[in-house]
Amino acid sequence: MNLKKIATILTFLLVLNVSFNKLGATEECFEGVSRSVFKFNMAFDAMLLEPVAKGYNKLPKPIQKGTSNFTSNIATLLSIPNNLLQGNLKQFAHSTGSFFINTTVGVLGFMNPAEKMGLKPHKEDVGQTLGTYGIGSGCYFVLPILGPTTLRDSIGLVADTFVDPFAHVTIRENELLSASGNSLDYYSVKTVDAVDFRAENILTFDSLEKNSIDLYSSMKSIYLQSREREIKNSSEDMEDWDLNN
């Protein structure tokens, strides 16, 4: 990479930092549109995703576990470059080790022997990497099918496809270490991952739906809290509870 490219990237990050930090995390980009998209997503979920997830939950547990392991193992490929970009060498070792052990000993990732060996990679993406650089989330909005996001995370979502080795092999059809694929492979894995996530959270989603008086805001809060937690790699609650303030 030449100096000009590095300078362009640094300028881009600086502009992102200045403009996104001006927008609070809870600010909406266009709430009316987002609420409509959210309604559409809920209908999509009720008609397609939830029934499929319920069917998936009826499969034998070993099949569910194997599928979950397989998609998680592929997702580790995106974590590896992001760990490097974040300068987190410990997590880089965890992700790389986990991917190679699970892909070989764990039969293409369907089993997870790496976990038993103490390797626990965190899921990392470009949105989180930008967050660790101090770039604020920017305003919040909802994407059709893909769900809640922020300005920073939506840029990260596009950038993921350039950083992720799996996307290089599938979407861009570049051969890597003799592995090849196409777009269908990429979107199939992402779809299965979404079904697996939905199936794992059937009860939580039902409970949230039942107990919220404004489901859109609850989902927004949960999304923003999860992203904060993922960026800090911590589950510490930092809320100020001083009721005298």
Partner 1 sequence: MKKFTIFFTSVLLFFNTSFAAEYSSNPKNFVSELVGDVIEKLSDKNLSEEEKSKFIEYVALNNVDISALGLYTLGELRKTSDKKDIKLYQQAFEKYFLKSLTSRLSDYSSSEFEVTEADKKSSNYTIIKSKITPKNGNPEVKIDWRIYTKNPDKPLIRDLIVEGLSLARTQKEEFSSILNSNNNDLSVLISKLEEFVKN
In terms of CB distance, is 185 or 228 closer to partner 1?
228
| Minimum CB distance to partner 1, residue 234 (Å) | 8
In terms of CB distance, is 118 or 237 closer to partner 1?
237
| Minimum CB distance to partner 1, residue 116 (Å) | 15
In terms of CB distance, is 119 or 163 closer to partner 1?
119
| Minimum CB distance to partner 1, residue 115 (Å) | 12
Q: Interface residues with partner 1 (CB under 8 A)? A: 26, 61, 200, 203-204, 207, 210-214, 216-218, 220-222, 225-226, 229, 234-235, 237, 239, 241, 243
| Minimum CB distance to partner 1, residue 118 (Å) | 17
| Minimum CB distance to partner 1, residue 47 (Å) | 24
d(Cα 120, Cα 135) in Å, to the nearest integer?
26
In terms of CB distance, is 5 or 210 closer to partner 1?
210
In terms of CB distance, is 174 or 221 closer to partner 1?
221
Contacts of 132 (CB under 8 A, 6+ apart): 86, 231
d(Cα 128, Cα 77) in Å, to the nearest integer?
15
List Cα–Cα distances, 122 to 47, 104, 132, 183, 222, in angstroms.
32, 20, 14, 25, 19
In terms of CB distance, is 64 or 161 closer to partner 1?
64
| Minimum CB distance to partner 1, residue 2 (Å) | 41
Contact by Cβ (8 Å): 142, 41: yes
Give CA torsion, residues 158, 159, 162, 167, to 10 deg.
-50
